[in-house]
Amino acid sequence: MTCPYCESRKVSKLLMAPNVATGRQKERTQTVAMDTMRRDMIARIKDAVKEIRATAEDVGERFPEEARKIHYGETEARGIIGQASPDEAQALTEEGIEIAPLPVFPEDQH
């Protein structure tokens, strides 16, 4: 056996401390993994919201009225987005009309 740096044949092994994963190291590794997963999930959610906004009709404050018309077959079925108060949203869900809030991200508020 020779030294890879100086090519000396006087090579010996030294005692070294084993690499033992401490709780802190494990926690740091898990945090990095969670941060990566969180970033990926947020990116997927942003892509989905962007797609919904691009393909749905924005009916604004008429959202509850339009959602009811679609649900009861009074108008064509289509994707819509708009605003509803918490009371209006609750009334829609109690009528069996499926709705879901779209998240608003900080960069969307300018």
What residues does each domain of the chain span? 26-55, 56-101
Count of C-beta atoms within a 10 Å radius of residue 64: 21
pLDDT per residue, tens digit, the chain (110 aa), is: 677 777 788 877 766 666 666 667 667 766 777 788 888 999 999 999 999 999 999 999 999 999 999 999 999 999 999 999 999 999 999 999 999 999 988 877 66
User: What pLDDT does residue 94 have?
Assistant: 97
User: What pLDDT does residue 10 have?
Assistant: 82
Distance CA 52, CA 23 (A): 43
Which candidate, 94, 107, 100, places its Cα nearest to that of 81? 100
User: What pLDDT does residue 28 have?
Assistant: 72
User: What pLDDT does residue 51 have?
Assistant: 95
Q: Cite the beta strand spans of the chain per DSSP E.
A: 57-60, 80-82
User: What pLDDT does residue 58 have?
Assistant: 96
